Amino acid sequence: MGMLAATLALVAPLAFAGGEFGRAVRPVASTYPELAISRAEAVHEWPFSVDEGTLTCVAVGSQRVVIFAEPWRDDVPQEFGNMTLPRSVIVSANPMALFAGVENRDLYAPFDGLETLIKRLAPYERTGWALCEQSGDTPQQDEL
């Protein structure tokens, strides 16, 4: 997960908009397809503990992985060689995939059970998958 955070930290923002969130999406730039989202403009129940962040879709082999990352912190100095990387978590309705990002699980809003978390994350996962489809990084159906 550290490598993923480093990759996300190095990417510069690129514009993507649309999906089922409509106005909730603000375009940003990146090497990977990415959407800026916020609690204030969310159509679905907000599953994260921070008020805004980005959804990123990464095609890994034949799988699509959707990641939510908090914004870069501006309350600490961000100097080359001494940066505080944004925290990130996996956005998935698959309970096993959620264990991939357990070190930053405090990015999920408090939930009373795994079912609640999955219900909250599912629409955001679908939107993330749409990012891969827009960029052409969609695995073929027989690869899934």
Each domain of the chain, given as residue ranges in start order, spans 2-74+84-133
CA atoms within 13 A on the CB side of 106: 3
- Residue 26 has what pLDDT? 44
pTM value is: 0.70
Q: What is the per-residue pLDDT across 69-86, written as a single tens digit (0 to 9) for each?
A: 999 888 877 778 878 888
pLDDT digits over 43-64, tens only?
999 999 999 999 999 887 778 8
β-bridge pairing 25-27 and 88-90: unpaired
Write out the H or E segment, with its range, that includes residue 7: helix 2-10
Distances (CA, A) of 134 to 42, 78, 116, 119, 131: 21, 32, 29, 24, 5
For 115, the enclosing helix (H) or strand (E) is helix 114-135
In this prediction, residue 30 carries a pLDDT of 53
